[in-house]
Amino acid sequence: MSTLVEIRSLSKVYERGKQRVEVLHHVNLDIAKGDFVALMGPSGSGKTTLLNLIGGLDSPTEGMLSIAGKRIERLSEDALARWRAANVGFVFQFYNLLPMLTAQKNVELPLLLTRLSAAQRKRKAEIALRLVGLADRAAHKPTELSGGQQQRVAIARAIVSDPTLLVGDEPTGDLDRQSATDIMLLLQQLNRDHGKTIIMVTHDPKAAEYARRTLHLDKGTLVERPELIAA
């Protein structure tokens, strides 16, 4: 498989007054197209920071970050926002659905940034909802759906524009075990049957088992022996 994400000597430093906090320290990583990667590690290890950099939600302090041959660390804030909208689907722990909108309208939201007609947006949203098994819930609002169903709507929203990358930050963290299993089976299906490249942060070893491989971070560095990490 060809390399989709290429990271070289990636570092992220936050300034807090006169204090410098280095969250990521010279990370090197390759992720192939069609891979499914789980990022694990203790709280504060840099997992979400790395995910946000890959997803274009933040910019590195130094280092190289190339996705599908695009050096996104070189992009301006506006250019990065446009790239992110066209290439990345996000799945968050708390769904981030708009409560006043139906499932279908929530799924359509990313398409409002495109030149698609209303009919085309509706059709794509219907396809995405069918793919996550919620075609019969299109007219329901989030409050009329279970937590697992809301996360399925969020996944449909993330894939509706056919993104290059699907990134998840604790996508099962707010779900009961059965709902979490259902969501992980869905993500696994999107990876296996539809070729979606997925990068997921999780604290849950059971969720990580659905990924093709698991990477461990500790104090901003990728480590080879996760058993040495203090929980």
Quick check: is 138 in a domain?
A: yes
Quick check: is 71 in a domain?
A: no
Per-residue pLDDT tens for 20-40? 888 999 999 999 999 999 999
Which structural domain, as residue segments, surrounds residue 102? 35-59+85-225
Predicted model pTM:
0.90
Quick check: is 72 in a domain?
A: no
* CATH number of the domain residue 214 falls in: 3.40.50.300
Per-residue pLDDT tens for 45-61? 899 999 999 999 999 99
Quick one: pLDDT at residue 217?
93
Share of the chain above pLDDT 70, in %: 96
In the chain, how many domains are there? Answer: 1
User: Token digits for 175?
Assistant: 């779900």
Quick check: is 44 in a domain?
A: yes
SS (H, E, C) the chain: CCEEEEEEEEEEEEEECCEEEEEEEEEEEEEECCCEEEEECCCCCCHHHHHHHHCCCCCCCEEEEEECCEEHHHCCHHHHHHHHHHHEEEEECCCCCCCCCCHHHHHHHHHHHCCCCHHHHHHHHHHHHHHCCCHHHCCCCHHHCCHHHHHHHHHHHHHCCCCCEEEEECCCCCCCHHHHHHHHHHHHHHHHHHCCEEEEECCCHHHHCCCCEEEEEECCEEECCHHHCCC
Per-residue pLDDT tens for 193-219? 999 999 999 999 999 999 999 999 998
* Type of residue found at 199: I
Quick check: is 107 in a domain?
A: yes
Quick check: is 28 in a domain?
A: no
Q: Is the pLDDT of residue 16 over 90?
A: no
Quick check: is 146 in a domain?
A: yes
Quick check: is 183 in a domain?
A: yes
